[in-house]
């Protein structure tokens, strides 16, 4: 017997991050005032291996076939929604989840999708600040060990083994109270409104990088590579933005990342637009070189859904390196850690295969007991990289999650 799932327009409601229901928050994807907030879990599924993206698409289609869909809104992001969080490495588990309730706001219009017979009641969430106490410890590598890994990477690049590699590091924080993901979303929303705020199975973050958006036939990818830390002094930061835009080291790193995305999209797109030069994206803690790559999907007999695009794009040079296989080997040898779902695709998919997938950056994995969190940061290493500067950059990239935790 089919399970009924209904989508209806909503009137006034609290901000997405402030909504609560009888069910616990299970997923989110918010940027500015638009996005998704989800509650409860109807079904979840774990995939891994080389065919994980194709298997995810097949599982989603099978689940859709068992739903009696009553969609009174229509359009991208309406009807049943799947949230997905994929691991960086194919041999690690990735998670798919279908929530029981999803509230969406987009372009001034809001709607709710729920499974069951009665429309759920929405309330305003009141966050109780706990004043948690955190104890930090080093992750897989200490600062000095990670800096040495950067130096080794630069040496291998200069020897011609590869052109670029992205090295990541982690820290672990232990808390005396439960770490509340809903409170963290509100905190991140205040400080980083221009990023995509995500939550899937306790992986939470504020990523500035959009791996891919598919909306009908239009595909978009925001590529970030090349970073400089902000000082907080407006005049000084303006000068730093100018130096970033002219930095040969950062432009080289950015070029590898843009090229990898454009080449991955080429087989699917009848036309692709790659701007001649990047722009500087200003965030509260750092500035990035950024390029928005766009294209129109080919009108072919074989339907292209977002899973096919993810399979072609991941891992991009922005989170792995160039050439990909060489970079993967260096990462496996020098990082000395399991990235889990850090630097993997994360986001949502609708019933038509459209959706948005960011790259899980500026994020942390909350433990099942909610008493600890593992936070991550990564840096692109090229021939001109300096270990001391890369360490400082990694510390700046850890700041969004670390500062969100201090406000709980």
For the domain spanning 3-118+134-406, the CATH number is 3.60.120.10
Q: What is the pLDDT of residue 177?
A: 92
Q: What pLDDT is stored for residue 129 in this prediction?
A: 66
Q: Judge whether residue 301 has pLDDT over 60.
A: no
Q: Which two tokens stand for residue 319?
A: 């989170």
Per-residue pLDDT for 314 more than 70?
A: yes
What is the predicted pLDDT for the residue at 134?
96
For residue 73, which phi and psi values (nearest 5 degrees)?
A: -115, -55
Characterize 233-247 residue by residue with b for buried, 16 or more Cβ atoms within 10 angstroms of its Cβ, and e for exposed.
eeeebeebbeebbeb
Q: Domain extents for the chain? A: 3-118+134-406
Provide the pLDDT for residue 18: 95
Quick one: tokens of 218?
Answer: 């239009």
DSSP letter at 369? Answer: T
Residue 2 exposed, middle or buried by CB count within 10 Å (0-12, 13-18, 19+) = exposed
Would you place residue 152 in the very low, low, confident or very high pLDDT band (cuts 50, 70, 90)?
very high
Angle between helices 324-334 and 143-158 (to 10 degrees): 150
Give the Cα separation of 317 and 151 in Å (integer).
Answer: 19
| pLDDT of residue 8 exceeding 70 | yes
Concatenated DSSP letters of 176-239 = SS---HHHHHHHHHHH-TTSEEEEETTEEEEE--EEEEEETTEEEEEEEEEEEE--S-HHHHHH
Is the pTM above the cut of 0.85? yes
What's the token pair of residue 67?
Answer: 């739903």
pLDDT at 408: 85
User: Residue 127: what pLDDT?
Assistant: 77
Residue 199 burial (CB count, 10 A): 27
Residue 300 has pLDDT above 90, yes or no: no
């Amino acid at each position: 017997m089919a399970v009924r799932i209904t989508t209806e327009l909503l009137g006034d409601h609290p901000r997405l991050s402030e909504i609560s229901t009888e069910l616990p928050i299970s997923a989110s994807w918010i940027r500015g005032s638009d996005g998704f907030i989800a509650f409860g879990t109807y079904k979840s599924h774990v995939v891994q291996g080389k065919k994980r993206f194709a298997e995810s698409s097949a599982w989603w289609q099978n689940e859709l076939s068992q739903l009696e869909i009553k969609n009174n809104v229509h359009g991208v992001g309406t009807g049943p929604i799947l949230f997905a969080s994929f691991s960086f490495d194919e041999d690690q588990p990735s998670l798919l989840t279908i929530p029981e309730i999803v509230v969406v706001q987009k372009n001034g219009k809001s709607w709710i999708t729920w499974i069951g017979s009665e429309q759920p009641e929405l309330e305003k969430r009141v966050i109780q600040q706990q004043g948690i106490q955190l104890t930090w410890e080093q992750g897989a590598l200490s600062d000095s060990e990670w800096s040495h890994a950067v130096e080794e990477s630069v040496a291998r690049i200069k020897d011609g083994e590869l052109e670029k590699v992205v090295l990541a590091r982690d820290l672990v924080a232990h808390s005396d109270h439960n770490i509340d993901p809903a409170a963290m979303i509100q905190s991140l929303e205040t400080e980083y409104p221009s990023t995509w705020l995500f939550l899937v199975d306790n992986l939470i973050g504020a990523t500035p990088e959009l791996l891919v958006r598919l909306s009908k036939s239009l595909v978009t990818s925001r590529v970030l590579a090349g970073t400089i830390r902000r000082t907080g002094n407006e005049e000084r930061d303006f000068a730093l933005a100018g130096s970033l835009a002219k930095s040969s080291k950062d432009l080289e790193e950015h070029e590898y990342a843009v090229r990898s995305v454009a080449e991955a999209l080429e087989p699917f797109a009848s036309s692709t637009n790659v701007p001649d030069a990047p722009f500087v994206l200003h965030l509260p803690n750092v500035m990035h070189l950024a390029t928005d790559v766009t294209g129109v999907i080919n009108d072919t007999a074989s339907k292209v859904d977002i899973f096919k695009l993810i399979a072609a794009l991941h891992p991009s040079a922005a989170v792995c390196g160039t050439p990909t296989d060489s970079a993967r080997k260096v990462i496996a040898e020098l990082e000395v850690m399991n990235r889990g779902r850090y630097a993997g695709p994360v986001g949502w998919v609708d019933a038509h295969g459209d959706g948005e997938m960011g790259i899980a950056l500026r994020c942390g994995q909350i433990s099942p007991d909610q008493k600890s969190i593992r936070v991550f940061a990564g840096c692109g290493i090229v021939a001109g990289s300096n270990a001391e500067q890369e360490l400082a950059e990694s510390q700046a990239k850890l700041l969004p999650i670390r500062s969100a935790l201090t406000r709980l």
